[in-house]
Amino acid sequence: MQIEGKNLSFRYGPKLPWVLKDVSLTVKEGERVGLVGPSGYGKSTLVRILAGYLKPEEGQVLLDGKPLPAKGVCPVQLIYQHPENAINPRWKMKKVLQESGMFREDIMGALGIEKDWLQRYPRELSGGELQRFCVARSLFPGTHFLFADEMSTMLDVITQAQIWDLMLKEVEARNLGLLMVTHNMELAKKICTRTINLEKMNHEMKI
Amino acid sequence: MKRQPVLSVEDLSVSFRMYDTGLEQADLQVISNLTLDVCPGEIVAIAGSSGSGKSLLAHAVMGLLPGNASVTGKILYKGMLLSQKEKEKLRGKEIALVPQSVSYLDPLMTVGAQVTGRTPDEKTLKAQKEIFQRFHLKEGTEKLYPFQLSGGMARRILVSTAVLSNAQIILADEPTPGLDLEMAVEALKIFRELADEGKSVLLITHDIDLAFHIADRVAVFYAGTTVEIADAEDFQKGPKALRHPYSKALWEALPQNGFKPIPGFQPYAKDLPKGCLFSPRCPYKTEECEKEIPMTKVRGGYVRCIHAD
Task: Identify the residue with better confidence: B159 or A103.
Answer: B159
Q: Is residue B295 part of a domain?
A: yes
In a domain, B117, yes or no: no
Residues of chain B positioned with their CB less than 8 A from the CB of A184: 255
Per residue in A140-180, pLDDT tens? 888 999 999 988 888 889 989 998 998 898 899 999 999 99
In terms of Cβ atoms closer than 10 Å to its own Cβ (0-12, 13-18, 19+), residue A24 is exposed
Let me know if residue B128 belongs to a domain: no
Please state, rounded to an integer, the average pLDDT across all residues of chain A: 89
Residue A178 has a pLDDT of 96
Report yes or no on B286 lying in a domain.
yes
Interface contact flag, A190 B255, Cβ < 8 Å: yes
pLDDT, residue B101, reads 82
Torsion of CA B232, B233, B235, B240, to 10 degrees: -150
ipTM for this model: 0.86
B207 domain residue, yes or no: yes
Contact B177 A150 (CB under 8 A): yes
Q: How far apart are CA B84 and CA B88, in angstroms?
A: 6
CATH number at residue B298: 3.40.50.300
Residues lower than pLDDT 70 in chain B: 1-2
- With beta carbons under 8 A apart, name residues in chain B contacting A36: 180
Q: Is residue B246 part of a domain?
A: yes
| pLDDT tier, A203 (very low <50, low <70, confident <90, very high otherwise) | low
Residue B304 confidence (pLDDT): 96
Asked if B178 and A150 come within 8 Å (Cβ–Cβ), the reply is yes
DSSP conformation class of B2: P
Instruction: Name the residue facing A189 among B141, B209, B255 (closest C-beta).
Output: B255
Q: Model pTM greater than 0.95?
A: no
- Say if the Cβ atoms of B180 and A183 lie within 8 Å: yes
A127 touches chain B (CB under 8 A): yes
Band (pLDDT 50/70/90 cuts) for residue A207 is very low
Q: Domain tally for chain B?
A: 1
Q: Which residue of chain A comes nearest to B258, CA vs CA?
A: A190
Nearest residue on chain B to A117, judged by CA atoms?
B268
Confidence at A62, pLDDT banded by 50, 70, 90: very high
Q: Is B6 a domain residue?
A: no
CB contact under 8 A, A155 and B50: yes
Domain range for B233: 38-66+90-94+167-303
| pLDDT for B247 | 96
Does residue A83 surpass a pLDDT of 50? yes
- Beta partners for residue A10, in sequence order: A20
- Answer whether residue B26 is part of any domain: no
Which own/partner contact pairs does A84-88 have at CB distance under 8 Å and 24+ positions apart?
A84/A122, A84/A123, A84/A127, A84/A130, A86/A134, A87/A122, A87/A130, A87/A133, A87/A134, A88/A122
